Structure formats: C-alpha cells, structure tokens
Amino acid sequence: MSKFADYNFAGQKAIVRVDFNVPLNDKYEITDDNRIRAAIPTIKKIISDGGSVILMSHLGRPKDGPTEKYSLKHLIGRLQELLGGVTVSFAGDCIGKEAEEAAKKLPPRGVLLLENLRFHKEEEKGNEPFAEALAKLGDVYVNDAFGTAHRAHASTAIIAKFFPAGKKMFGLLMEAEIVSAEKVLHHSEKPFVAIIGGAKVSDKILIIENLLERATDIIIGGGMAYTFMKAAGGKIGKSLCEEDRLDTATELIKKAAAKGVRIHLPSDSLIADKFAADADTSMSPSNHIPDGWMGLDIGPNACEQFSNVIMHSKTILWNGPMGVFEMEKFQHGTRIIATAVAKATQKGSFSLVGGGDSVAAVNQFGFADKVSYVSTGGGAMLEYFEGKVLPGIAAIKS
Ligand code: AMP
C-alpha cells in the first residue's frame, strides 16, 4: 500500500470510497453534514496535486434498486459548497456506460460523484465483477470510509484486489482513525482506562473481553452496570437487567481479577420511579435500589470515583454513555465523565471516544475538540476494539 499524504496524484484518476451516508429530511435536505465534511481534506489533497476524484458511497438502506429518497444527487449542492465552489459532476449509475464516460471525460482537478452503490445488490454481497466494474473507473483506489470498514462489501474491500500494492491506500480520515485506534489498542501508555457504558451487556461482552488483555482499569456505567450489580448479589429494583447475562458478568469479573484488571462499578445511582423525563428521582447505593425504582444515571459518588480513575490514566477509551443522557434529568453523569476525560486530555493523556452514543454525547456537550480523537466509525470502531480484523483495512494492507 502507499501512504496517501506522500502520493502524488497528478494526472491520476482516484476512485475514492467515502462514507456520505448522511441523514436527509423529507425535502431531501441534509440535516447533518459531518460525514461529508470529514472527507473534504482527502478530496482537496487529490485536487491540489492535479488529480481527479471519483467519489462512491452508499446512502441509507435501499431495498429495491434506485429510489429517489436514497439518491446521492441530493448531496451535490452541499458537496460543491464544502469544496469551495468546485463543480461536481454526477453519474446516475455507479457502473456501466454512463459512469465510464463520465470518468473518462473528467478533467484534472475534476470531481465526479457516482450514484448510490447500494442501488446494486452486488455491493453488499461483495460481488467480484461489480467490484471490478468500479475499479475500472480509476487508476488509484483510496478508501476513506472507516464507518464501513467492518463490511466486506465490493467497494470497501473486494475492489482493492484489482489494484497493485502501490495504487491502493487509506484516505486521510481513515488513516487518522486507524492510527488513533492502534495507539489505544497496541501502543497504550499505562494506566489505560476503558470506560464502557450504554444499555446492554450483550453488545459489549466482546469488547470487554478483548480489553481485559490490554487495559489496567475498566469503568462500567450505564444500564449495563446493573446486570453486573445483580450478578454480584446486589438489589437493583427494576433497573435494566439481562437475566441471561448474569453468568457472563460473573465470568468477566472473575477474569478481570485473575488478570489484575480493576473493574469499577458505580457505587451509587440516580434512581427514578419510571423511565420518563418527569419521573420522581432519588439517590441510592447501586446495589440497594428499592423495589419499583430504576437506576437511570450514575450518582455523585460514582462520578467522583470514576473521575479519579480517569484523571490518573494516560490512555482513555470511551464507549457508551453513563446514563439516559437523552433526558436532561439523567445526563449529569455522562457530562461529568466527559469533563474528566477533557481534563485528563488537557494534562497530556490520550483519549479516544468511539461508538455512536458517547460520540453523540461528547458533541452535544461541546467536548469534541477537548478530547484527542472522536471516531466517526461507530460499528467499525467497536469491532476493531473487539479485536476483529476489519476487511476494509485488511484489503489495503495485504
Ligand atoms: P448503547 O447503544 O449500547 O451504547 O446504549 C446507549 C443507550 O443506553 C442510550 O440510549 C442510553 O439512554 C441508554 N442507557 C444508558 N444508561 C441507561 C440506564 N441506566 N438505563 C437504561 N438505559 C440506559
């Protein structure tokens, strides 16, 4: 593979897999353009070298071929704006005659956007002839779609085999994601704390298991903490609990003890009499929650306990909120943890926030630029931290 930053794209047509899977409203207006913004540095570098750019992406989950709602043509205007007025041409199909002619006609410094890859079922099936048809459009393959790197789709993985080693590479966004993730997983300075929150233990078992090999401390917050509390003999009222994961929780605690990894559970909780914004609330030790009440956020002692651990850590990985942060009443714990992560970062620790809801929380509370790295790749980042090989990374490295 080549290194993107060192590659000279002059006179080359680069076919770039981006993640333009942005939310659109009923009028096909983009309601959050962060994913497009994230790809702009990669596109600009190719243009400034004198190369041309062919962009391919998926949008949504179209079931039956071309659908107006999922057309990438709705993105042209915003893309042109974000590129500072560069004209973007569009091909109504990502393969075939129209795409081939548009690619051929593309002048140096030109940008062509292809229609939604998922209008062809072959994309998600990782179909080889389809990948080859895409590959034909460019001289160089750039993957800048970290968010889909855990899928062995035609445009994210299979296509790479149609380019020689020196003509395939990661884009700037994808490289930054990989460098940050590798730093945490393989080159972490100790102490290394993983903060794991969110709703379900079942979603996070693999990540906790893999982190038991690497972290010094694991903080468990959010709804999943109560399954651990109950497994340890605590009373959790009607808090979230996965009865079928009680044994798993006990096993994880045992494994951590055997490996000398400290597991931190919230000593107290903000409890509520119902799952609602207007619920009555009270504080309780997390292992003594009264019947009829549920823990919806970590309590003040837990905030202090967790903040201390975070402040003493050199590497911090955060995935999942500490409580039901979508409701104002239950967002204090998540906000305090975000504050501690920001403070530790300011003191020189490396912090990575990855996975959907903690990223949303960090953005919502205005902490995104106060941590070392905020990952854009929810599911892909999670799988990376589970220790899985991501097909989109392997395809370029091999
Ligand atoms: P996840 O997608 O697994 O990271 O879970 C995120 C979701 O967990 C968010 O929607 C939170 O509202 C929810 N959550 C966090 N803490 C709790 C809790 N104590 N009880 C119920 N849901 C929670």
297-327 pLDDT tens trace: 999 999 999 999 999 999 999 999 999 999 9
Please report the pLDDT score of residue 175 as a whole number: 97
Neighbours of 212 (CB within 10 A): 18
144-165 pLDDT tens trace: 999 999 999 999 999 999 999 9
Please report the pLDDT score of residue 43 as a whole number: 98
What mean pLDDT, rounded, does the chain reach?
96
How far apart are the CA of 222 and the centre of ligand 1, in A? Answer: 6
**Mean pLDDT across the stretch 168-172?**
98
Please report the pLDDT score of residue 230 as a whole number: 97
For residue 356, pLDDT over 80 is answered with: no
The pTM (predicted TM-score) of the whole model is: 0.92
261-272 pLDDT tens trace: 999 999 999 999
How far apart are the CA of 377 and the centre of ligand 1, in A? Answer: 19
Please report the pLDDT score of residue 360 as a whole number: 87
How far apart are the CA of 50 and the centre of ligand 1, in A? Answer: 47
Would you please indicate which residues are annotated as catalytic (active-site) residues?
35, 200, 356, 379
**Mean pLDDT across the stretch 129-153?**
97
Confidence band for 246, pLDDT divided at 50, 70 and 90:
very high
Please report the pLDDT score of residue 173 as a whole number: 96
Tokens, residue 196: 């794991």
For residue 51, pLDDT over 90 is answered with: yes
For residue 114, pLDDT over 80 is answered with: yes
Please report the pLDDT score of residue 129 as a whole number: 98
Please tell me if the CB atom of residue 100 comes closer than 6 angstroms to any atom of ligand 1.
Answer: no
Please report the pLDDT score of residue 234 as a whole number: 97
Alpha-carbon torsion angle 256, 257, 260, 264, nearest 10? 70
**Mean pLDDT across the stretch 100-124?**
98
| 8-state DSSP, 387 | T
List the domains of the chain with CATH numbers.
Answer: 4-172 (3.40.50.1260), 180-385 (3.40.50.1260)
Give the range among 234-238, 266-270, 331-335, 357-361 with minimum mean pLDDT: 357-361
Confidence band for 398, pLDDT divided at 50, 70 and 90:
confident
CA distances from 288 to 64, 70, 179, 291 (A): 52, 49, 43, 9
- Cβ atoms of residues 323 and 222 within 8 Å: yes
**Mean pLDDT across the stretch 183-210?**
95
Please report the pLDDT score of residue 138 as a whole number: 98
Please report the pLDDT score of residue 19 as a whole number: 96
Half-sphere exposure of 206 (CA within 13 A, CB side): 10
| Long-range contacts formed by 75-79: CB under 8 A, 24+ apart | 75/20, 75/22, 75/30, 75/36, 75/113, 76/113, 78/30, 78/33, 78/36, 79/36, 79/111, 79/113
Non-local CB neighbours of 337 within 8 Å, separated by 6+ positions: 195, 221, 303, 306, 307, 310, 318, 322
The H or E element spanning position 15 is strand 13-17
**Mean pLDDT across the stretch 341-370?**
93
Please tell me if the CB atom of residue 357 comes closer than 6 angstroms to any atom of ligand 1.
Answer: yes
Please report the pLDDT score of residue 357 as a whole number: 86
Distance of CA 123 to the CA centre of its chain: 21
Substitution candidate for ligand 1 out of 268, 324, 328, 331 with most atoms within 8 A of CB: 324
Residue nearest (by alpha carbon) to ligand 1 atom 6: 198
Report the candidate in 287, 309, 162 with the shortest Cα–Cα distance to residue 236. Answer: 287
Confidence band for 84, pLDDT divided at 50, 70 and 90:
very high
Report the candidate in 52, 90, 85, 46 with the shortest Cα–Cα distance to residue 71. Answer: 90
**Mean pLDDT across the stretch 55-80?**
96
Report the candidate in 5, 293, 295 with the shortest Cα–Cα distance to residue 142. Answer: 5
Please tell me if the CB atom of residue 176 comes closer than 6 angstroms to any atom of ligand 1.
Answer: no
Give the range among 141-150, 193-202, 313-322, 350-359 with minimum mean pLDDT: 350-359
The Cα 104–Cα 310 span in angstroms is 54
